[in-house]
Structure 1
Amino acid sequence: MRILLAVLTGIIAVLHLFFLVLEMFLWQTPYGMKTFHLTPEVAQSSAVLAANQGLYNGFFAAGLIWSLLIGDVRWALNVRAFFLGCVLVAGIYGGVTAQRSILVIQALPALVALIVLVLHRRSVPQAR
């Protein structure tokens, strides 16, 4: 379970680094506009908002990567649970308000990782 959780966390972190690059740096490029179905005018007028959104995705990635580097297992799981929970909430909100596919791309992986985390946490000895 520990390795599966680490792999899932790493994948989710990499996804959010990709979202950061896409929203902060590629938003107004042909690739960014195609990905988000934007016209050049809409891409230009929403670029600052997209960059802000990308920055938040970077914070999610940073927190998840941090959780992989923490030596204390219980503390690492707590940090990981927090950031996965943030990703899940953001994914649900985005899926409901912006685009349904966000539920599958962002929320579902976070939910799966949180389930694995809960199952793994049962095997970790309690601090005394």
Structure 2
Amino acid sequence: MKSILFSTTLIAFLALIPAGEAAAQLIPQPWVSVGSRNDETTFSIGARALNLGVEFGLGTEDSTGVDALAFVNLPLIDQVSPYVGLGLYSEDQGVAVSGGVQINPTDNLILGAGYHSIRGVNGQVGFRF
């Protein structure tokens, strides 16, 4: 029963996306990020597909972790995508929350800015295939 519900929801979701956009969203959109918190430099790499993303980060005090991200496409502004995330980090850092925005100023460029509770304020740059 759960698999039928999941399949039906997935088909309905994909039906709402125009064909060209669906194919474009299946190709991962990678980025790198550099940030700062408590005078420490932090780094991460991430990728996004179908408005879901994952980010692997190096935080303060040598912590490492992974974040799951959810992006929102704004209806009137295609090039702007706010996101929120939840992650798990080592070195007793625990659960992390994040949020920010990514923009697409050109067809192939991604620029972003965000805040992460462990990695601090960060800037992102990436590309679209």
The TM-score with structure 1 as length reference comes to: 0.26
Q: Counting helix residues as a fraction of each chain, which structure ranks higher?
A: 1
The TM-score with structure 2 as length reference comes to: 0.26
Higher relative contact order (CA 8 A, sep 6+): 1
Q: Counting strand residues as a fraction of each chain, which structure ranks higher?
A: 2
